[in-house]
């Protein structure tokens, strides 16, 4: 039984099974939770409350249209923003693409001479939702056929590299910091769709790609994790700031028969910086299969 949460009273506390969650709103302090483990006994748990503050941040998408590349990977149309950075694709091919950049400066401050600073991990995490992942094919008689990656369309996943859940493969800040620490990452989504209609009953072999909708929405997070493993505390990633953005890498066939990107700008964001929530919340998706692992294995289904 929790009898008191002293020293900077919490904004809220609530029981969850046999655990209580206490949230302090004050800056760095030593939090004291007074509890009664049994009748006639009183215990005190002291916790270093470390403040993590986002002082500055920026989101910079490239203000350009995507290109449609049918030369790099045989049998596929790749849609990406051309640029100066070289990226490796599965199978050994490479592309030169541009990126959307994210940066932030965070301040980590613990109580009494920075107690606990070195036990806090801060880094970027990202979720993605495949809003539209479908394509239209057309045969020599101008009949059209609809296909979609049903395994991913409409679903959300953790978007991370080979060492999830952190986007950069590890926390960006995981050592004691008395003051500001800079962190950054970038992303460069690539859309992909077969140029010939996948084999399906009722679809003639001459059906070729006519248009595609490849829309994804992203949520980027500056997340915090404690290294303290008591009661599995380190399995929760709290959001201290977040930002929404979108990639629209659809394509269509122009009057001359060439593939062109359908959006004037491939990557867009309503935010120019990360937004600090009124109340911290946990990263919604921090585990499970990653977006790349699912999308790379998803087949295209004929929509009858």
pTM for the whole structure? 0.89
Give buried/exposed letters for 80-91 (b at 16+ CB in 10 A, else e): bbebeeeeeeee
Q: Using an 8 Å Cβ cutoff, are 23 and 49 in contact?
A: no
Q: Which two tokens stand for residue 222?
A: 């500056």
Please provide the DSSP assignment of the chain as one string: -EEEEESS-EEEEEEETTEEEEEE-SSSEEEEEEE-SSTT--EEEEEEE-EEEEEEEEEE---S--EEE-SSSTTEEEEE-EEEEEEE-TTS-EEEE--EEEEEEEEEE-HHHHTTGGGEEEEEEEEEEEEEEEEEEE-TTS-EEEEE-TTTTT-EEE---SS-SSTTSS-SB-S--SEEEEEEEEE---EEEESBPPP-TT--TT-EEEEEEEEEEEEEEEEEEES--GGGGGG--EEEEEEEEEEE--EEE-TTS-EEESSS-SEE-S-SSPBPPSS-EE-S--SSSBHHHHHTTPPPEE--
Please give the average pLDDT of every successive group of 10 residues along the chain, which has 304 residues: 47 54 72 78 83 92 97 97 94 95 92 84 96 97 97 96 90 68 94 96 97 98 90 86 97 97 97 90 94 92 92
Instruction: Tell me what pLDDT residue 35 has.
Output: 74
Rounded alpha-carbon distances, angstroms, from residue 236 to 46, 53, 148, 224: 20, 18, 34, 8
Instruction: Tell me what pLDDT residue 31 has.
Output: 80
Instruction: Tell me what pLDDT residue 18 has.
Output: 58
Instruction: Tell me what pLDDT residue 288 has.
Output: 95
Instruction: Tell me what pLDDT residue 3 has.
Output: 52
């Amino acid at each position: 039984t929790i009898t008191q949460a002293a020293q900077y009273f919490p904004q809220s506390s609530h029981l969850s099974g046999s655990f209580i969650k206490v949230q302090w709103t004050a800056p760095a302090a030593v939090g004291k939770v007074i509890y009664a483990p049994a009748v006639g006994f009183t215990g005190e748990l002291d916790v270093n409350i470390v403040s993590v503050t986002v002082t500055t941040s920026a989101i910079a998408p490239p203000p350009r249209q995507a290109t449609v590349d049918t030369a790099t990977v045989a049998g596929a149309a790749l849609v990406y923003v051309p640029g100066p950075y070289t990226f490796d694709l599965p199978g050994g091919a490479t592309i030169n693409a541009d990126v959307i950049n994210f940066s932030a400066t965070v301040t980590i401050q613990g109580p009494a001479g920075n107690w606990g600073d070195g036990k806090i991990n801060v880094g970027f995490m990202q979720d993605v939702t495949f809003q539209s992942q479908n394509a239209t094919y057309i045969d020599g008689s101008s009949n059209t056929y609809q296909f979609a990656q049903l395994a991913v369309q409409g679903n959300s996943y953790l978007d991370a590299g080979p060492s999830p859940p952190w986007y950069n493969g590890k926390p960006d800040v995981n050592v004691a910091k008395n003051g500001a620490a800079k962190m950054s990452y970038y992303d460069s989504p690539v859309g992909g769709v077969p140029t010939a209609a996948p084999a399906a009953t009722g679809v003639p072999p001459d059906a070729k790609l006519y248009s595609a909708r490849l829309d994804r929405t992203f949520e980027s997070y500056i997340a915090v994790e404690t290294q303290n493993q008591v009661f599995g505390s380190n399995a929760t990633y709290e959001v201290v700031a977040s930002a929404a953005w979108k990639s629209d890498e659809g394509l269509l066939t122009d009057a001359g028969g060439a593939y062109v990107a359908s959006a004037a700008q491939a990557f867009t964001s309503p935010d120019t910086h990360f937004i600090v929530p009124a109340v911290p919340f946990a990263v919604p998706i921090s585990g499970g299969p990653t977006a790349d692992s699912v999308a790379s294995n998803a087949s295209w289904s004929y929509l009858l």
